[in-house]
Structure 1
Amino acid sequence: MLSSQNLEHHKSIYLKVLLALFVLTVLTVAVSFFDFGSITLAILIGLTIAFIKGFLVAGNFMHLLDEVKPIYWLLALTVVFFFVLFFMPMLWEMNLVTVE
């Protein structure tokens, strides 16, 4: 059972995240009216704001910030599989990998 003090702490975190998401949403809408002169820069700014909003939602509402060690293991495993799948066709074409 959560104590009253612990519950207030969680409520304050959720309210801060809600406020940050609201501010970032307003910022996203405001940025859409600016002319940056480059579509690449506009996309980069939009994706950066979206990444920050996604991090806030995933980290706080999905409680991923509390599970750091399993997340690092999954990230490392993903990187290993990426490199295996990325380099395997090259090694195959160079005849460094053979099937008996």
Structure 2
Amino acid sequence: MSASSEHPEHGSDHGFAHPQSISSLLTVFSALVILTIITVLIANFKLGNAEIWISLFIASIKASLVMYFFMHLGHDKPFNALIFLSSAFFLALFMGLTMMDRNAYRSSLEPIIDAPYVNEALEEIEEVVPALEDPAVADDTGAIEGPSVVDPPEAQ
């Protein structure tokens, strides 16, 4: 009864993690820190549409490093790598289609954002907000004094 019954389809690892050297872990950690610094530095530059693509590319590299080394995808069965790669492909496909759709409508939204009446409305809001924050205007309950929108018009 105490005899070992190992089968060819059953490995002897029993789900334990594969040991990795400290130097490989420190190398991966250094790469992740460097890629994070690059991402932060890129955010300071105005690269236009390329900024989001570069940031997504760097994030994909970082995620791949984490999955390969820390989630032990490199030591796992090839089927798991196939699942990961197909998931990454479909994620890239859907993100690419979303970005193309976003860029298709961008030119139709820019005239609305830069329209003069939008700037005038923003200036009016900037004039009203300090008045709303003035404690002399609000009573002790925090409600704003003045005519209400729901007040009925005066009878003539």
Higher helix share: 1
Higher RCO, Cα 8 Å, sep 6+: 1
Displacement of 1:12 after TM fit?
A: 1.0
**Equivalent-residue separation in structure 2 for 1:77 and 1:23 (angstroms):** 27
Tell me, yes or no, if the aligned pair for 2:73 and 2:81 is still in contact at 8 Å.
Answer: no
**Equivalent-residue separation in structure 2 for 1:53 and 1:60 (angstroms):** 11
Pairing 1:31–2:42 present: yes
Task: Name the larger-Rg structure.
Answer: 2
Q: State the TM-score, normalizing by the size of structure 2.
A: 0.40
The counterpart of 1:70, out of the listed 73, 79, 90, is 79
Runs of 4+, deviation exceeding 4 Å:
75-78
Q: State the TM-score, normalizing by the size of structure 1.
A: 0.60
| CA distance 1:75–1:61, change in 2 (3 Å) | closer
Q: What SS is found at the alignment partner of 2:44? A: coil
The counterpart of 1:43, out of the listed 41, 52, 76, is 52
Tell me, yes or no, if the aligned pair for 2:67 and 2:73 is still in contact at 8 Å.
Answer: yes
Pairing 1:57–2:66 present: yes
Counterpart of 2:31 in structure 1: which amino acid?
Answer: A
Q: Which runs of 5+ in 1 are unaligned?
A: 1-6, 83-100
Q: What SS is found at the alignment partner of 2:66? A: helix
| CA distance 1:72–1:14, change in 2 (3 Å) | closer
Percent identity reads 34
Q: Which residue of 2 aligns with 1:97?
A: none
- TM alignment of 1:10-21, pairs within 5 A: 10-21=21-32
Q: What SS is found at the alignment partner of 1:35? A: coil
Equivalent residues, number: 70
**Aligned-residue RMSD, C-alpha:** 2.5
Deviates more, 1:41-50 or 1:9-18: 9-18
Q: Which runs of 5+ in 2 are unaligned?
A: 1-18, 91-156
